[in-house]
Homo-oligomer: A and B are copies of this chain.
Amino acid sequence: MNQRRVELILYLVKWTVLASIVGILVGSASAFFLVSLEWATSMQHTYTWLLFLLPFGGALVSYTYWKYGQNASKGNNLIIEQAQGEEESVPFRMAPLVLGGTIITHLFGGSAGREGTAVQMGGAFSELVAKVCKLDKIDRKIILICGISSGFGSVFGTPLAGTIFALEVLAIGMIRHEALFPSFVAACIGNIVTVAWGVGHHPYDIGDVPVFSWLLVMKVVLAAILFGLTSRVFSGLTHWMKRGFVKLFVHPVWRSFVGGVLFVLLTLLIGTRDYTGLGIPLIDQAFDGTVATFAFLMKLFFTALTLGAGYQGGEVTPLFVIGSSLGSTLGSYLDVSIPFLAALGFIGVFCSATSTPIACFIMGIELFGSEAAIYFFLVCIISYVCSGHTGIYTSQQIGVSKR
């Protein structure tokens, strides 16, 4: 056996072991996180007065981050930078901090997501493995990619999308294949472990895919452009609110407190709790066509406010809510199957906000099957091109200009 073949076998064995360790740790953390999230959501639904504690909960989390967080407050951007090869340390405390912070956001009714939490837990655990195993610079980069892929894959139940997401999110406009195998192993093991802990994922039904026609294609293109523009509004508004809060309040505790008070007042004003929490019920309503016409705008605003005020949690589930609600609304105006456009919005707005078209296309296939594959691709490409070079992750490098 020649040296190259030995090296190949060593590579495969080494990364099967390392990525599996990451997958087991992160998959278990995701399972615990998803169960806690369900608990927090049901508490919030049962004891509606918990909403009034939101400003205090947010202030507490911001205080904890300020006092003990070190650079953990950089969130997803820290993980993305390290997986790009930066050499700042990812403190392990990031995992409990973001987990606790996100649970508090949801317990008290803030509007946020899950992927940020999963990715940050993934990053913290994989950095731990890197330290214990004394990995060199290149391997550390790869194992951080494993952390991202296993976090994403396990929290959404989409290991293939997770694999590609971790590679595609690092730089706009390209996928580098160097960590393809480790990323895949980590995402699959992560997902298998989460499922093995008895934690399932929400199923969605795209319904019958409409018959092909050029009119349908034009409607889908129009919808995709709107998905792209909506994601721009979301990213822009979130960044604008963040900057605004920073300008108005020097101390992060005040930002979260005031943001929380605003959130509570506005929620009372509109008289519905629909825009608190993850918003999964809105996705269901979007798919069966019962969602309110401007639900996507409301969810967009409340999420931007929550995240702008410094609350913990991700952006992705709210992006799913915004996208599927918008798709549902467009479905009735454009006279296209509602669950079909809701599914396209689900992946389109997310794709546009993260600039990860191939990952989102694959996610579409994992969640909704391959019958509408060509439309998934179309929507991902158009919304990707339309979103410009600014998304929700400010640390994304621009690898290749979009056009």
Interfacial residues, chain A to chain B (CB-CB below 8 A): 4, 8, 11-12, 159-160, 163-164, 172-178, 180-181, 184, 188, 357-358, 365-366, 369-370, 373-374, 377-378, 381-382, 384-386, 388, 399-403
Contacts and interface: CB of A to CB of B under 8 A. Distances in A.
A354 to B, nearest CB: 13
A176 B178 contact: no
Contact of A173 (B11, B172, B178, B373): B178
Contacts of A365: 365, 370, 373
Contacts of A369: 370
Contact of A358 (B175, B181, B399, B402): B175
A23 B401 CA distance: 24
A31 B382 CA distance: 28
Contacts of A163: 377
A384 B358 CA distance: 18
B384 A177 contact: yes
Contacts of A403: 8, 11, 178, 181
A400 B170 CA distance: 15
A4 to B, nearest CB: 7
A373 to B, nearest CB: 6
A369 B373 CA distance: 10
Nearest to A4: B388
A374 B95 CA distance: 29
A11 B402 CA distance: 11
A181 B377 contact: no
Contacts of A178: 173, 400-403
A365 B164 CA distance: 16
A358 B403 CA distance: 21
B402 A357 contact: no
Nearest to A173: B177
A181 B377 CA distance: 10
B370 A180 contact: no
B177 A402 contact: yes
Given A160-B373, A172-B177, A369-B370, 16 more contacts: A4-B388, A8-B386, A8-B403, A173-B177, A175-B175, A176-B399, A177-B357, A178-B402, A180-B381, A180-B384, A180-B385, A181-B381, A181-B385, A181-B403, A358-B358, A370-B373
Q: Sorted from nearest, which 4 A-B pairs have the closest CB atoms?
A: A370-B370, A175-B175, A173-B177, A176-B400
Contacts of A184: 377-378, 381
Contacts of A366: 370, 373
Contacts of A386: 8
21 contacts: A8-B386, A11-B403, A12-B382, A12-B385, A160-B373, A163-B377, A174-B177, A175-B175, A175-B358, A177-B357, A177-B400, A177-B402, A178-B400, A178-B402, A180-B357, A181-B381, A184-B378, A184-B381, A188-B374, A365-B365, A370-B370
A174 B176 CA distance: 4
Contacts of A8: 385-386, 403
A223 to B, nearest CB: 14
